[in-house]
Amino acid sequence: MRVLEMRQEMLELIKNEEDSSLKSLYSLIKAYKNQRHLDKMIKEGEEDIKNGNLYSQSEMQKMIENWVK
């Protein structure tokens, strides 16, 4: 099945779904998208660590102090 066909079928399923099930499906999709975002941020952080893109505690404190000004 092609992506366009899957999208159309999913839209039909959603149109005909009961409200309570639709709310559960919505929550599931939102949680999935949020987890994907978090996974991406973790991966980027791990790459930063691997590449040595780090700040010391004192460097971070100076940055924070400049943000507050």
pLDDT digit string, tens, across residues 32-55: 999 999 999 999 999 999 999 999
Residue type, 35: Q
Report yes or no: 63 and 55 within 8 Å, Cβ to Cβ: yes
> How many whole angstroms separate alpha carbon 30 and alpha carbon 22?
12
pTM for this entry: 0.69
> How many whole angstroms separate alpha carbon 21 and alpha carbon 19?
5
Average pLDDT, the chain: 94
Domain residue extents for the chain: 12-68
Residue type, 44: E
Asked if residue 69 has pLDDT above 80, the reply is no
